[in-house]
Amino acid sequence: MSAASVSKKLRQKVARHAKQRCGYCLVASSITGIELQIEHLWPTSKGGLTIEVNLWLACAECNQRKSDRTRVVDPLTKKEVPLFNPRQDGWQDHFHWSDDGTEIIGLTAVGRATIVALQLNRPARIGTRRRWVSVGWHPPKD
Ligand SMILES: [Zn+2]
């Protein structure tokens, strides 16, 4: 089901709950000027429904890399683990920012695996974060 099938009211509710930012890399549309996408946490291709509890916000890059994956491999243990779920899991329980604020560090198997799967530390994004840090826009305070 396409994002277009999500009502404006539901989209606004999900976006408010998601603090208007990507659930994975935490990029905010207020910084990029690019509207975030509604994503299905459990993919529609696997029977995921377009209901509030299955929706969150993601940037286009994270959403595309996530695709229909729900389980990913931890690069440290090589074991398959669930992909980070921004609605159920606490971001700060699984990730933290590097001291300079440019890289996301995985604290758990889920965090490490999600970083690799979604390429959360791709070089272009690190460069962008460096510029955001220099003007005080990043990392998010909460
Ligand atoms: Zn993202």
What pLDDT score does 16 carry? Answer: 96
Delimit the domains of the chain by residue range.
3-133
CA of 119 relative to ligand 1 center, distance in Å:
9
CA of 7 relative to ligand 1 center, distance in Å:
22
CA of 47 relative to ligand 1 center, distance in Å:
23
- Quote the mean pLDDT of the chain: 95
CA of 63 relative to ligand 1 center, distance in Å:
7
CA of 22 relative to ligand 1 center, distance in Å:
5
What pLDDT score does 1 carry? Answer: 46
Residue owning tokens 């999900």: 14
Segments in the chain forming alpha helices (H): 8-17, 29-32, 60-66, 91-94, 109-118, 123-134
Q: Is the peptide bond before 139 cis (omega within 30 degrees of 0)?
A: yes
Which two tokens mark 33? 């000027």
Q: Record the pTM.
A: 0.94
| 35-78 pLDDT per residue, tens | 999 999 999 999 999 999 999 999 999 999 999 999 999 999 99
Report how far residue 61's alpha carbon sits from residue 67's, in angstroms, rounded to the nearest whole number.
10
